[in-house]
């Protein structure tokens, strides 16, 4: 029908759906064809948010502030004129609330290692929007590819302690879609575990045997005098 509105298109003026808390965002709702004037209505989960009346076919603009997690979710808009019965609805638009990563914690089940031993390192940021990408370093040299974690779980790498140079300082880095926010972990150092000498158990056994022998020799000197004293 002549003058009937086309389905409007709802877009973010910022050209991104990733938002942070307290951010101001603008939405544009636009029907490219149809007879003006046009009334645009913005909905969030089927609840009316705001209305914009346009005397021509220019877009209706809606300004929002992301104050809480409830402000993200599905948005739609409706375009109406004097001809379109019931109006025309747009596509859905969903904002994603992103949070900067917290300082990751680098850890291992044990800090003591021996040469020739396999070890593990774990890196985890407790807070931050997923996915989070981790990279491990030894000194300033990265020792792992970027590990993108889509769940709240630690990134883990396996190390082989082959020489004394493997006992250096390790760190990891965490980042997500939050711009200009990269966090480095604490430093972690492996220490060389002291290896017990093979003769050490034998020495301990000999000392215990000698101690028992001395005790056995000393018993008569304590028992016999006490026996005579009682007669």
Domain-wise residue ranges, the chain: 8-98, 105-192
Q: Give alpha helix (H) positions in the chain.
A: 200-230
pLDDT value at residue 1: 58
CATH superfamily membership of 8-98: Immunoglobulins (2.60.40.10)
Divide the 231 residues of the chain into consecutive groups of 10 and give the mean pLDDT of each group. Answer: 87 91 95 94 94 96 92 94 87 92 95 89 95 95 96 95 87 92 95 61 70 70 56 56
Q: Taking the domain 105-192, which CATH number applies? A: 2.60.40.10
Please, are residues 119 and 79 in contact by the beta-carbon 8 Å criterion? no
Q: Do domains 8-98 and 105-192 have the same CATH topology?
A: yes
- The helix/strand/coil state of 167 is helix
The pLDDT score that the predictor gives to residue 200 is 55
The DSSP output letter for 150 is: S
Residues contacting residue 49 through CB under 8 Å, at least 6 positions apart:
42, 43, 62, 64, 75
Q: Tell me the C-alpha distance between 197 and 201, whole Å.
A: 8
What's the number of CA atoms in the CB half-sphere (13 Å) around residue 226?
5
Say if residue 131 is preceded by a cis peptide, omega within 30 of 0: yes
């Amino acid at each position: 029908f002549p003058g009937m509105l086309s389905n409007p298109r709802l877009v973010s003026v910022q050209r991104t759906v990733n938002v942070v808390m307290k951010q101001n965002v603008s939405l544009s709702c636009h029907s490219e064809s149809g007879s003006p004037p046009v009334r645009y209505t913005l909905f969030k989960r089927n609840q009316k948010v705001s209305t914009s009346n346009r005397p021509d076919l220019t877009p209706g603009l809606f300004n929002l502030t992301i104050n809480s997690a409830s402000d993200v979710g599905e948005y739609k808009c409706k375009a109406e004129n004097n001809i379109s019965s019931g109006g025309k609805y747009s596509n859905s638009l969903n904002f994603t609330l992103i949070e900067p990563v917290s300082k990751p914690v680098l850890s291992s089940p044990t800090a003591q290692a021996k040469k020739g031993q396999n070890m593990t390192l774990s890196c985890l940021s407790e807070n931050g929007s997923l996915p989070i990408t981790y990279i491990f370093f030894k000194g300033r040299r990265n020792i792992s590819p970027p590990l993108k974690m889509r769940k709240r779980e630690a990134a883990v790498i396996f190390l082989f302690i082959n020489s004394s140079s493997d006992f250096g300082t390790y760190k990891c880095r965490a980042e997500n879609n939050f711009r200009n926010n990269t966090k480095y972990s604490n430093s972690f150092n492996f220490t060389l575990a002291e290896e017990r000498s093979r003769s050490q158990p034998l020495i301990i056994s000999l000392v215990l045997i000698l101690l028992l022998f001395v005790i056995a020799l000393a018993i008569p000197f304590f028992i016999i005098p006490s026996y005579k004293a009682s007669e």
